[in-house]
Amino acid sequence: MEMKRIFFLLLITFSFLSNAQAVSEPKNNPAEWSKPYEPFKIAGNLYYVGTYDLASYLIVTDKGNILINTGLADSLPMIKNNIKQLGFNYKDIKILTLTQAHFDHMGAMADFKKETGAKLYVDEKDAEELKSGGKSDYELGKYGVTFKPVQPDFLLKNNDKIKLGNTTLTLLHHPGHTKGSCSFLFETKDKDQTYKILIANLPSIIIDRKFSDITSYQSIQKDYAETFEAMKKIDFDLWVASHASQFDLHKKRKTGDPYNPKLFMDKENYFKRLKDLENNYLKKIKEDSTKK
């Protein structure tokens, strides 16, 4: 009887190990993705706590904090240290969320969730990618499991709200880059001033294949078109993005610079970057039409 039990346990263990896949985060990433960067206050209750280029945002409320994006797997200690430098406790994070389900924004998400017990809110269209550790992604899935799989707690649609204390985030569904890429819009008060802040996920294209060849994401071309139109119509005062380079953080701000929300009021730059990306998209459609 004991031998049968041992055999059964070994069988279960073998089955688990054969089904479980090791995380293999892609190597040779830009050095800026893992380079530390000084955390700072952007505006009101919004803080930058990410690495030199992979943007992570801490929103501090009277009922706990929200963390958006977690960089690569090795970003975990850097983000925790950045939060500590600002005078906050990372264990006060109650809500986790993300702008896109790629390893460079999801690498430490499962660890943050485990360590803080925070609830994970995601755009419903990226849920499968989170559960598969990125393996189900239409493009980066070719690398296998690129981040620790993580189970979302709440699935959101366009214009759904994430509420914590005195802050309400509105999720804006902006698919294309991933099926569930999203941006966030919220208001923050700073003394006698109120700012409407956009955390934008800019719709860059990451494929060389024709749109029509992507059988696992058949609506990709349509999704990009709808995202460009939606992003042109957003009303905001300040904006930041998923990568520091996308909103020219390091041109605007040097280490040790004083608090200055006006640095991030450059709406002209937002619309220029959006137009450049849309031109790339239209050029791709034209090129796709000539490919066999």
Q: How far is CA 240 from the centre of its chain?
A: 12
Question: Which of 129, 123, 125 has its CA nearest to residue 144?
Answer: 129
| Residue 130 near residue 149, CB atoms below 8 Å | yes
How does pLDDT run along the chain (292 residues), one tens digit per residue? Answer: 455 554 444 444 444 433 456 999 999 999 999 999 999 999 999 999 999 999 999 999 999 999 999 999 999 999 999 999 999 999 999 999 999 999 999 999 999 999 999 999 999 999 999 999 999 999 999 999 999 999 999 999 999 999 999 999 999 999 999 999 999 999 999 988 999 999 999 999 999 999 999 999 999 999 999 999 999 999 999 999 999 999 999 999 999 999 999 999 999 999 999 999 999 999 999 999 997 7
CA-based R_g, the chain, Å: 20
Query: In the numeric block, which tokens belong to residue 57?
Result: 């945002």
Terminus-to-terminus CA distance in the chain, angstroms?
A: 64
The one-character DSSP state at 42 is E
Which residues partner with 59 through β-bridges? 46, 66
- Report the topology of domain 29-290: Metallo-beta-lactamase; Chain A (3.60.15)
What pLDDT, on a 0 to 100 scale, did the predictor assign at position 174?
98
What pLDDT, on a 0 to 100 scale, did the predictor assign at position 13?
44
What pLDDT, on a 0 to 100 scale, did the predictor assign at position 244?
98
Q: Where would I find the H helices in the chain?
A: 2-19, 76-85, 103-106, 109-116, 127-132, 220-232, 249-252, 267-290
Q: Cα dist. 171→39, 161, 163, 226 in Å?
A: 24, 6, 11, 16
What pLDDT, on a 0 to 100 scale, did the predictor assign at position 182?
98
What pLDDT, on a 0 to 100 scale, did the predictor assign at position 291?
79
| Residue 145 near residue 133, CB atoms below 8 Å | yes
What pLDDT, on a 0 to 100 scale, did the predictor assign at position 49?
98
